[in-house]
A and B are shown apart, each in its own frame.
Chain A
Amino acid sequence: MQPGSYVVLAAILFTIGAVGVLIRRNAIVLFMCIELMLNAANLALVTFSRINGNLDGQIMAFFVMVVAAAEVVIGLAIIMSIFRSRRSASVDDANLLKY
């Protein structure tokens, strides 16, 4: 397979994730879409690492995974506490922090 195909796949995954973030209301789904975008980025990094023949991209991908894991922990905790107080996981309901 051509490395270019992986890049295209990464772009498609990223787009799916971005559109998902924009159109879905459920916080959990939103979260999964963010993970999708992160992993699309990881895929792109690994691919470029392969194309260029050095390890920088792969190392970067590991960092992204670590950060994503940490983010999931915190994010899920926040979603849990919001859900407990409001009985809803819709992000549009949590709109108190505004003008």
Chain B
Amino acid sequence: MHALELPGTSTSALLRAAAGTSTVTGFQATFWLLIAIPLASAAILLLLGRRADRWGHLLGCASVGIAFVLGVVYFVQLAGLPESARAVQISLFDFINVGSFQVNFGLRFDPLSGVFVLLITGVGFLIHLYAVGYMAHDERRRTFFGYFNLFVAAMLLLVLGSNYVLLYFGWEGVGLASYLLISFRYTRPAAATAGKKAFIMNRVGDAGFAIAIFLMFANLHTVSFDGVFANATKLSSGTALAICLLLLLGACGKSGQFPLQAWLPDAMEGPTPVSALIHAATMVTAGVYLIARSNPIFDTSATADAIVAGIGALTLLIGCVIGCAKDDIKRVLAWSTVSQIGYMFLGVGLGGAAYALAIIHLLAHGFFKAGLFLGAGSVMHAMNDQTDIRRFGALWKFMRITWATFGIAWLAIIGLPPFSGFFSKDPIIVAAFDRPGWQGWALGSAALAGAALTAFYMTRLFVLTFHGPKRWTEGQHPHESPPSMTIPLVLLALGSLGAGALMATPVKNWLDPTVFGLPASTEITSVTAHLSETWVTVASLALTVLAALLAWLLFRRGTALTEQPAGPIVTAARKNLYGDTVNEVVLERPGKYLTRALVYFDNKGVDGLVNGLAAAVGGGSGRLRRAQTGFVRTYALSMLGGALLVAVAFLVVRLG
């Protein structure tokens, strides 16, 4: 069904197309509720104001919980459909109808959006639950839940929209919620600045995304997924590449990928549940969703695919390297998020069956990264909001549940079997080596090095936080967090354990046939490759274990309490590999100079011209008004002169 129709087609065509896509009635009518329920809850919480303070958090949790239950029901129903019919579309109303530009408010529930719905509502519900306890002492807890629900609604719109305009709508919605939540504690200048930084850097990417949509409409006269994908091969290669790169720019902005990675770590100024939900588990993976969703366009351009994979590999290394040098527990996790999304970009960039691998890694990452962030929040809760890992140590005795769940998530992210990271990350590394030529070596080695570095910095984080000697500041009395915080931790840890099992289920093939147009039997095979699958797995496991052991040996006795002088690489990593410096030198300062030059030009040039003109007219008329003498006879003379002039002119014309 085309949410955006070509000129001349009508609503009846929409209905016919809808009837062709879905076969089971009763399903499609109601899945807009997924978006409507959190949205209604957000509206109630934000509009009722203080009257909702007492029960606001409960409503916030309940709405997402109901959405999760509904999501499971729809997902099961979808699974019951035959494979070729697993894409249910509904059109609610005309969203935009201007001339030949018609956008339908249409939603699409298919395997890809289905798994995202489960991730967003499932992990989202756990984090909502956690936030009840975490935000218990915050007087703006109701507002927080309002923003949180708004985020969930926007994110669901993002993954459920059946055309690029709705995807963009949701995209901006999550951007807004992210901004509001990063600067939730707006009285702290750092939080306010971080919110603005995130918003502005996202604008850069969003501009690219918007131009990509314009290009699609200009060339294909449609922005619906079906319409664009059916005609993707008709695009000229240049246009296709341009659309891909602009979409990639948007994805990089939202997902914190190079060169727009600098905002994501600063976004950790928001409360910890925000970091867990928005800046680890869901919103930042929207870029991966965008590229996976747009795979028919990306498939037309091998160059674009290679660039996506290259950006992913580069970013995962950047994230790892910086992660090794940070001492703030949330910053380490933030850079780790950047790096893990790099793996996902690498996956979607490799194309083919690796699309599904990236999505599975995204799901697994949603569990273990949310678990890590919530664990970090639990630690901060216990340590009076201390975030410096040099000031932790020996916490495992005091917070056993947090320690155990954090440990499971840690093993999952470094990719040890049987935890989920192993099953989702390893195939991506294998697939990277699978690529022919030097690209395979480069991408594969980067992914392998990333795995080792991940093991190193995550082990460092884990050991420094929970083991070794106490290095606390004075007056600390760590204690386990309340059940509303530990229960989500336990469930997320179970998810981190179990998400790996997804690879054993048909979930990979579940995504393949309808979403990515591959035969159901497509498997990752390493026959062409530089290294066989076994060797890659052995190598990555060996590197991971070695790096983890190294980190354990280095940090089991604790670490220096203050920043030590270090070599150039560590210094660079501490300064985020000069990402902010580059932005400042390349963009900010020239921008400042440009605005100053423009102000100067405006004052002297534009204003000078206008003021000069006004002065000339004023001065001229000042002289001219002297002709107004007040003597009637002077006027009479000039009238006579004028009349004579006219008469003479007449005579000259007539007689001459």
B54 lies within 8 A of chain A by Cβ: no
Is the CB–CB distance between A95 and B630 below 8 Å? yes
Q: Which of these, A25, A30, A96, contacts B630 with CB under 8 Å?
A: A96
Cα(A96)–Cα(B636), bound, Å:
17
Is the CB–CB distance between A99 and B628 below 8 Å? yes
- Chain B: how many interface residues by the 8 Å CB criterion? 11
The interface size bin for chain A is 10 to 19
B629 lies within 8 A of chain A by Cβ: yes
Residue of A nearest to B640 (CB): A18
Interfacial chain A residues near B632, Cβ < 8 Å: 30, 91-92, 94
Q: Which of these, B625, B628, B630, B633, contacts A22 with CB under 8 Å?
A: B633
| Interface majority SS (helix, strand, loop, mixed), chain A | loop
Cα(A91)–Cα(B632), bound, Å:
7
A86 lies within 8 A of chain B by Cβ: no
B637 lies within 8 A of chain A by Cβ: yes
| A22-B631 contact in complex given A99-B625, A99-B626, C-beta closer than 8 Å | no
Residues in chain A within 8 A of chain B (CB atoms): 18, 21-22, 25, 30, 91-92, 94-99
Chain B min CB distance to A49 (Å):
21
| Chain B 603-641 per-residue mask, 1 if CB under 8 angstroms from chain A, else 0 | 000000000000000000000011011111100110010
Is the CB–CB distance between A21 and B626 below 8 Å? no
Q: Which of these, B630, B631, B633, contacts A21 with CB under 8 Å?
A: B633
Cα(A99)–Cα(B626), bound, Å:
6
Q: Which of these, B626, B630, B636, B640, contacts A97 with CB under 8 Å?
A: B630
Residues in chain B within 8 A of chain A (CB atoms): 625-626, 628-633, 636-637, 640
Chain B min CB distance to A21 (Å):
5
Most buried by A among B625, B626, B628, B636: B636
Is the CB–CB distance between B630 and A98 below 8 Å? yes
Interfacial chain A residues near B630, Cβ < 8 Å: 95-99
Is the CB–CB distance between B640 and A95 below 8 Å? no
Residue of B nearest to A95 (CB): B630
Chain B min CB distance to A28 (Å):
14
Cα(A59)–Cα(B9), bound, Å:
72
Interfacial chain B residues near A30, Cβ < 8 Å: 632
Most buried by B among A30, A95, A97, A98: A98
Is the CB–CB distance between A95 and B631 below 8 Å? yes
Residue of B nearest to A27 (CB): B632
Interfacial chain A residues near B633, Cβ < 8 Å: 21-22, 25, 91-92
Q: Give 20 pairs: A residue, B residue, CB < 8 Å, sorted on A.
A: A22-B633, A22-B636, A22-B637, A22-B640, A25-B633, A30-B632, A91-B632, A91-B633, A92-B633, A94-B632, A95-B630, A96-B630, A97-B630, A98-B628, A98-B629, A98-B630, A99-B625, A99-B626, A99-B628, A99-B630
Is the CB–CB distance between B629 and A95 below 8 Å? yes
Cα(A97)–Cα(B637), bound, Å:
17
Residue of A nearest to B624 (CB): A99
Chain B min CB distance to A61 (Å):
20
Chain B min CB distance to A44 (Å):
13
Cα(A30)–Cα(B637), bound, Å:
13
